[in-house]
Homo-oligomer: A and B are copies of this chain.
């Protein structure tokens, strides 16, 4: 089915001035401009289909990620798409183990974000050529083919390919029924839109009221900058949502380990389900409950060390679908619920595919599971998420939902798009 040779790769630096409204602000990232390095792949096939890939960034530094995408381009250009997906493990390793480039990673930071953007575009293209949304491409894929997309390097002490095959085989049972369930009811979500750190109490109250009216039952609040402030805000939100609904907290890496313990003992009365990123994302031994990580090796150890009770995958920080598959399978082995990280630019659009696949083909459970939702920037995407009754409804369009509206991209390109020209001119006056 797949066809064509990659004839062009372009990357653009797209930034949204979210810092102007305090959207996305937390204890470590006080003024983020939600941004993306946006990759477009073209082929010489006659179908004219393109693959779109993004990785999420916070403004400054997006140009560094774009630079890294260009450094990876020679691995992609002039390759047949069929050869790429036919040995996707080999292709993944080529990108992540380039003998010169891996020094500036490996599999972390800028180069890994760039790898994700490129691979996300490949997956989008593949799914489009197959005429399926990405989740459905994965659900329908032969287990052996699916495993051939995963690089098991560095995780075989915890999960071998044969074990992974066993998990996927087991996942075949009841698959059809679960797919129907998803199409009918969607995947449960929680909202982070109400309680960014930079919002005033009035804004928080208003957004929380609206969210309750919209049927949301699970809420996340950003904490970690000032304890008294956190106590006031957590009390406010707990009082509004009542004792039965779910509240999560996120410190965004703000604390040292002793500080995290002390701080959280003070916030325990508001009954958080979890505390997210209490400390450095590199600190496996110091970790408490939930973590966004940069690669499968870190996730492996968090599982081995029993250092988390929930696991957050990320569609743009990990090495695309390929690496997320390995993490979903490890989480299944350890029976740790996966609750994806989303928000940002397009993270909701992408990660819904992965978690819907996970439910249908791997975890087969919704217990203690939900996917983050943030009500931001969806208007810039051609295939935005559909939320119904606080659930993600499975996308129906072919692809990975990564494509942005060309007009949005043009307007928000940094620094030459219309939006930034105006803002930068205003700053200079």
Contact = CB atoms under 8 A, between A and B. Distances in A.
Interface in A36-84: 57-61, 63-65, 67-68, 71
Given A58-B99, A157-B286, A257-B156, A110 B68 contact: yes
A283 to B, nearest CB: 5
A298 B282 contact: yes
Contacts of A258: 156-157
A138 B398 CA distance: 61
A300 interface: yes
B279 A301 contact: no
Contacts of A104: 57, 61, 64-65, 109-110, 113
A101 to B, nearest CB: 5
A8 interface: no
B285 A301 contact: yes
Contact of A282 (B33, B111, B295): B295
Complex copy number for this chain: 2
Contacts of A101: 58, 60-61
A61 B71 CA distance: 6
A19 to B, nearest CB: 8
Interface in A136-191: 152-157
B31 A100 contact: yes
A227 interface: no
Contacts of A33: 100
Interface residues of A, number: 61
A99 B31 contact: yes
Contacts of A256: 152-157
A378 to B, nearest CB: 20
B257 A285 contact: no
Given A61-B71, A285-B305, A32 B100 contact: yes
A113 B61 CA distance: 14
A64 B58 contact: no
Contacts of A408: none
Given A104-B113, A109-B108, A257-B156, A68 B61 contact: yes
A45 to B, nearest CB: 29
A63 B113 CA distance: 16
Contacts of A65: 104
> Which among A111, A154, A257 has the greatest number of chain B C-beta atoms within 10 A?
A154
A86 interface: no
A29 B28 CA distance: 35
Contacts of A102: 28-29
Contacts of A111: 61, 64, 109-110
Contact of A112 (B109, B113, B280, B283): B109
A63 B71 contact: yes
Contact of A64 (B30, B110, B259): B110
> Which among A105, A107, A284 has the greatest number of chain B C-beta atoms within 10 A?
A284
A385 to B, nearest CB: 22
Interface in A78-129: 97-113
17 contacts: A31-B100, A32-B99, A58-B100, A59-B100, A61-B111, A64-B64, A64-B110, A64-B111, A107-B282, A153-B280, A154-B283, A156-B258, A157-B257, A280-B297, A282-B294, A282-B295, A285-B301
Counting from the closest, the 7 A-B pairs by CB-CB distance are A109-B109, A110-B110, A157-B257, A60-B100, A59-B100, A282-B297, A154-B280
Given A32-B103, A280-B297, 18 more contacts: A29-B102, A30-B99, A32-B100, A61-B100, A63-B67, A64-B64, A64-B67, A64-B68, A64-B104, A64-B111, A67-B67, A68-B110, A106-B253, A109-B112, A110-B111, A154-B256, A156-B257, A282-B298
